[in-house]
Every structure is written in C-alpha cells, then in structure tokens.
Structure 1
C-alpha cells in the first residue's frame, strides 16, 4: 500500500464519526425549527454530505489497492472519476426526487448539507496537515 493509505483511512474514520454527529445535531436543530419536516431535512442533508465524503475518500483508498498493477494510474483515475460521476448523478437525481416533498424542510436540508461539506473540508485539512508522509515516492 502507498504511504498515503493510513491518512485516507484516518480521514474515513473521522468522516464517519463526523457524519453521525452531524446527523444527530442537524436532526435536533431541524426538530426545533420545523418539527418532523426539519428533523428529516437536517438529518438527510448531513447524511448526504457524509455519504459524498465517504465515497470520495473510500474510492481513493480502494483504488490504492491496485498500486502494484502495471495499469495502476488508469485504474486509479477510473475508480475515482467513476465515484465522482456516481456522486454527481446521484446528487442531481436526489434533488429532483426530493424537490417539493411535503415531508422535507428544504432549508434544513440545505444547512445540513452545507455543514457536512464544511466539516468534511476541515477534516481533510486537519488529517493532511497532521500526517507524516515522506516527500519522496514509495520505494520499490
């Protein structure tokens, strides 16, 4: 495995914990703002952001399993871009399906999603800045 793998796994663990915490927090805030609709919107928004974070980090960690393959670079980018495409299409489809649903508060969904994106960026920055990765590539 490349030396970046422990960093990715650490980001994955922190992302799971942050997603659980955000779902609980924004579900609670949503309940206080708009009762059942707010609970659903806040929890779903935070969960969506968490799933997108985990798909990104998880696809990179999974693609690193092919590091010894002679076609590692195309496989790596195929997996990562495939995950990005799944996220993009999934997000558009989800928004089209969820648009105008009476059981969902769109404001809480937006704020839960926004908070999830910000928290995932903070996690990425903290994990990368605290990591100790050598400046040279992995020895063969």
Structure 2
C-alpha cells in the first residue's frame, strides 16, 4: 500500500455527519408536514392543506438528494477514480434536482388545488428549517480538522521512509 492510498475500510468523516443530517432532516420534515397541514387547512381549506404538504415535500425531497448523492458517491472512496465518480454523481444529482424542480413548479402552478402563497411559504419555511438542521448538526458533530488522512509516520503502520 502506498503512503498516499486512502484506507478504503475506514468510513469517511463526512458519513456520520450526512447520516445525522438526513435523520434529523426527516424528523423536522414530519413535524413540518403536520404543522403545515394544520395551518394550511386553517388558512386555505383543502387547497391550503394540499399546498402546504406539497411545499414541504418538494423541499424535503430536493434537499435530501444532495446528502444522499454524497453518501452514495462516498462508496467509491479508495478507488483510483473516486474523485471523478464523486463529482459526477453529485453534479448529476444537482442537475437532476434543477430539472425536476422546474418541472414540479410548472406542473403545480397550473393546478386548481394549489394555493401558491401557502405553497411558497411552506417551501421557504421547510428550506430554512433544513438549513438550520444542517448548521446545528455540523456544529455539534466532532470531526477532526484534518480528517481522512494517514500520516507517513503512523505508529500503527510504522515508519514508511524505508
């Protein structure tokens, strides 16, 4: 094993952070779905209810795609083609999200049951809540500043100068 080859058996330090963000994001999404359903129904009746649920669901799905694509791409860690595979998967996920978001907005905008104001507010609140979850998770996780590296004089491996 060369001194620059990563240890493919050890998970990347970003994996627990992304998994925790997805779990807490899912919990927050469920809470927002319930709150959005109640508030949306009180404000706009059945169209408000459907619009709030659609806004929260669209936001949750699209925000989870990035973390999920990174987790999937990290499975190739240690492979010689890890970097192009990683960026291909993540960039492909972003492009897919962009196209699907435009299609979702175009389709939902023309529906009679959609209250655009309730949909927009639910979407924005869900995005802000997801960003808050990401910030809290990143601040609370204990990840070393220099992670996923193996030093050339690692005591477990021995001195590699020979």
Corresponding residue of 1:55: 65
Larger Cα Rg: Structure 1 or Structure 2?
2
RMSD: 1.0
- Provide TM-score, normalisation by structure 2: 0.83
Offset of 1:119 from its aligned partner? 0.6
Q: CA deviation at 1:87?
A: 0.7
What is the correspondence of 1:88-127 to structure 2 with a 5 Å cutoff? 88-127=98-137
Q: Structure 2: which 5+ residue stretches go unaligned? A: 1-10, 151-162
Paired residues in the alignment total: 140
Q: After superposition, give the CA deviation of every residue in 1:22-67 in whole Å (9 maximum; x if it has no partner).
A: 1111111100001100000001101111101111111111111111
Question: Mind listing any 5+ residue stretches in structure 1 that lack a counterpart?
Answer: none
Asked if residue 42 in structure 1 is aligned to residue 52 in structure 2, the reply is yes
SS class of match (2:44): helix
Q: Look up the match of 2:32.
A: 22
1:83 equivalent to 2:93? Answer yes
Q: Which has the larger helix fraction?
A: 1
Structure-2 residue corresponding to 1:138: 148
Deviation (angstroms), 1:20: 1.2
- Determine if contact 1:23/1:44 at 8 Å carries over to the other structure: no
CA distance in 2, matches of 1:138, 1:56: 21
Contact 1:7–1:128 under 8 Å retained in 2: yes
CA distance in 2, matches of 1:45, 1:60: 24
Moved over 2 A (4+): none
Instruction: State the 1:136 CA deviation.
Output: 1.3
